[in-house]
């Protein structure tokens, strides 16, 4: 067939001169596309005699295959060139020092929560948890809190609205973590040694009170537990938490419905130049409530009060964080002020532990 050599030379020059994939695609369409030059010549074979067709067919197929191979090779070359150009423009020296990024900090409440948990774990207490929305029974009745007690008034407690026609007592946002003690005794029985950290809710708001705050309570139940054991546990805790060996405590008689006898516990302190110092001086700072678990509370939790007895205590995590780290206003814990968090926050990877030390920044 005449003109194949000229067509081959023309097509190869066009492929070689294509500067990008779009130009190469134009060459492909104009050559081996449905209306391309090679395709049109292949259609002409229908007008040829058998002898001419036998000669032209192999030549046209060879040309078509040669063109397709050249197109594929050129396309791959263009892709490699584009990749090399991109690598040159996006070059990065990986030996350069890394950029410093600001690291987040641990909130003081989270830090103290972990500190307290680590200390009591070392003293043999496990962690127990429970729901934040509680029934009237677990939050009040099982804890020997009578119906006329001020804590059950709507001005102090957040009550949940019941569905119309539901005559059961309304659920409450728990006012303390004591319901966790009841649930734990029901589930595990005695003997028992637990702490119950968590969020609690009361209708109060000022410099030292917020509607939601954090509390930790402890419970130890066995056959021979006394107030002496309670005193030792609390003094060990204060000594480790505040980092003061031999810290002094004072127990003052008080009244709580769920303990008998009951005591408020003070720690030794002093005021120097307007600053509170724990563990020194002649002053006292009230820090928690405690006592021996009331027999009615044990009975409500299905623990035999004639066989077992124990102590319980409760304190605010926010409050002891304020005392330890000199934070003057409880409300600042919940303001989400980044400047405050950077100032009072703790290193994210620095976990408190008894063996490694607490409260490192």
Q: Retrieve residue 215's tokens.
A: 């509390």
**Separation between Cα atoms, residue 86 and residue 77, nearest integer Å:** 14
Most confident of 72-81, 179-188, 264-273: 179-188
- Which helix (H) or strand (E) segment holds residue 323: the answer is helix 317-325
What's the pTM?
0.66
pLDDT, mean of residues 214-229: 94
Largest Cα separation within the chain, whole Å, is: 124
DSSP state string for 278-314: ET-SSEEEEEEEEEEEPHHHHHHTT--TTT-EEEEEE
pLDDT in tens, 301-340: 999 999 999 999 999 999 898 888 888 888 888 888 888 8
In this structure, of 66-70, 172-176, 239-243, 356-360, the range with the lowest mean pLDDT score is 356-360
- Determine whether domain 109-344 maps to CATH 3.40.50.300: no
**Spatial contact of 310 and 225, defined as CB atoms under 8 Å apart:** yes
Among candidate residues 172, 171, 232, the one with its CA nearest the CA of residue 201: 172
CA distance 345 to 353: 17
End-to-end CA distance of the chain: 88
**Does the pLDDT value for residue 207 go beyond 80?**
no
pLDDT band at 95 (very low <50, low <70, confident <90, very high): confident
Residues in the chain: 361
Please compute the mean of the pLDDT values over residues 57-66 and round it to a whole number: 77
Q: Give burial (CB, 10 Å; 0-12/13-18/19+) of 222.
A: middle
Alpha-carbon distance of 63 to 7, in angstroms, equals 9
Mean pLDDT of the chain: 84
Give me the percent of the chain exceeding a pLDDT of 70: 93
In this prediction, residue 361 carries a pLDDT of: 43
> CA nearest 25: which of 39, 15, 12?
15
Alpha carbon 253 to its chain centroid, in Å, reads 41
- Is the Cα dihedral 125, 157, 143, 302 positive or negative? negative
Nearest to 39 by CA among 64, 69, 57, 8: 64
pLDDT at 98: 73
| pLDDT (tens digit per residue) in 4-13 | 777 778 778 8
CA-to-CA distance for 181 and 187, rounded, in angstroms? 10
84 CB neighbour count, 10 Å cutoff: 10
C-alpha torsion angle, residues 224, 186, 258, 125 (rounded to 10): 60
């Amino acid at each position: 067939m005449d003109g194949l050599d000229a067509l081959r030379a023309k097509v190869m020059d066009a492929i070689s001169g294509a500067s990008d994939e779009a130009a190469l695609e134009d060459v492909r369409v104009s050559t081996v596309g449905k209306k391309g030059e090679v395709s049109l010549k292949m259609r002409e074979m229908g007008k040829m005699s058998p002898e001419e067709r036998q000669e032209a067919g192999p030549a046209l197929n060879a040309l078509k295959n040669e063109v397709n191979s050249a197109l594929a090779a050129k396309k791959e070359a263009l892709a490699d060139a584009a990749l090399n150009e991109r690598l040159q423009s996006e070059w990065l020296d990986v030996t350069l020092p890394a950029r410093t990024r600001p690291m987040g900090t641990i909130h003081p409440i989270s830090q103290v929560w972990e500190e307290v948990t680590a200390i009591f774990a070392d003293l043999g207490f496990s962690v127990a948890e429970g729901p934040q929305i509680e029934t009237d029974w677990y939050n009040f009745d099982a804890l020997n809190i009578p119906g006329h007690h001020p804590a059950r008034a709507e001005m102090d407690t957040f009550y949940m609205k019941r569905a119309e026609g539901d005559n059961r007592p309304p659920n409450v946002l728990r006012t303390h973590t004591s319901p966790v003690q009841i649930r734990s005794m029901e589930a595990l029985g005695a003997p028992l040694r637990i702490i119950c950290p968590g969020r609690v809710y009361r209708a109060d708001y000022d410099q030292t009170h917020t509607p939601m705050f954090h509390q930790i309570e402890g419970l130890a139940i066995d056959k021979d537990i006394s107030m002496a054991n309670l005193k030792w546990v609390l003094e060990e805790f204060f000594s480790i938490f505040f980092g003061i060996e031999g810290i002094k405590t004072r127990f003052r008689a008080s009244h709580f419905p769920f303990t008998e006898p009951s005591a408020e516990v003070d720690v030794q302190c002093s005021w120097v130049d307007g600053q509170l110092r724990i563990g020194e001086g002649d002053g006292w700072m009230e820090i928690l409530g405690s006592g021996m678990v009331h027999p009615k509370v044990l009975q409500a939790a299905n623990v035999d009060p004639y066989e077992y007895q124990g102590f319980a205590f409760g304190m605010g995590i926010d409050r002891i964080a304020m005392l330890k780290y000199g934070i003057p206003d409880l409300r600042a814990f919940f303001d989400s002020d980044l400047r405050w968090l950077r100032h009072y926050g703790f290193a994210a990877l620095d976990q408190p532990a008894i063996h490694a030390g607490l409260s490192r920044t």
